[in-house]
Structure 1
């Protein structure tokens, strides 16, 4: 991939947890990344219902059980694996997925304009 930026190293996101990231310089939206073992799922940090950030407190993106992404404003829940909304006012919609790759050194890379 060309024109990428690094988010962090995979080890900086505890397994089963999520972390938020600022968007690119001058960008409006941020990103969220959820780690599941050696995989990471990255989405634009914006609820499809009205575009608000999903968390009310830094890095608080998951429900109490850590199984679903949760919109703190509306209570909508999303599958980690594909961002599909299961419950809430945007049921049937999806979070905007961001292509991510993990290099041999464990760094997570996303497109440079992700979250712009």
Structure 2
């Protein structure tokens, strides 16, 4: 993509993630695991879509990664709850473990960029 820094790929535009919500993304070409992002205002957190307990995707339906109050990331399989800010599990079978955070940045065009190999 024009203007893209080598070693990064565009995950989405910031505006593609509804404020206060989450959005999932399929695995990159050749990848095995998708990613998801949570947005609060201008802040975004990106994680690998895999529960540390048994490696299953977190979302029961597309883009549903948060609990009903939208305060925590929720694993649909075993009910584990993770803090949005750091992916740390505060409740459930993987208590004390963390989701795999993905380095990212928002560029001057409002695009969320992740490493090319994220999710591989």
Question: Does TM, normalized by the shorter one, top 0.5?
Answer: yes
Classify the secondary structure of the residue corresponding to 1:5: strand
1:59-98 CA-to-partner distances (Å, cap 9, x unmatched) read 0100000010000000000000000000000000000000
Partner residue of 2:109? 105
Matched ranges for 1:51-70 at <5 A: 51-70=55-74
Normalising by structure 2, we get a TM-score of 0.94
Partner Cα separation in structure 1 for residue 18 and residue 50 of structure 2: 22
Matched ranges for 1:14-33 at <5 A: 14-33=18-37
Partner Cα separation in structure 2 for residue 35 and residue 23 of structure 1: 20
Partner Cα separation in structure 2 for residue 112 and residue 25 of structure 1: 10
Partner Cα separation in structure 1 for residue 30 and residue 90 of structure 2: 32
Residue 34 of structure 1: CA displacement? 0.2
Residue 31 of structure 1: CA displacement? 0.2
Q: Write out the 4+ residue segments of structure 1 that deviate beyond 4 Å after TM superposition.
A: none
Give the unaligned 5+ runs of structure 1: none
Partner residue of 2:88? 84
Give the unaligned 5+ runs of structure 2: none
In the alignment of these two chains, the number of paired residues is 116
Partner residue of 2:54? 50
Residue 2 of structure 1: CA displacement? 3.6
1:3-47 CA-to-partner distances (Å, cap 9, x unmatched) read 111011101111110000012111000001000110100000000
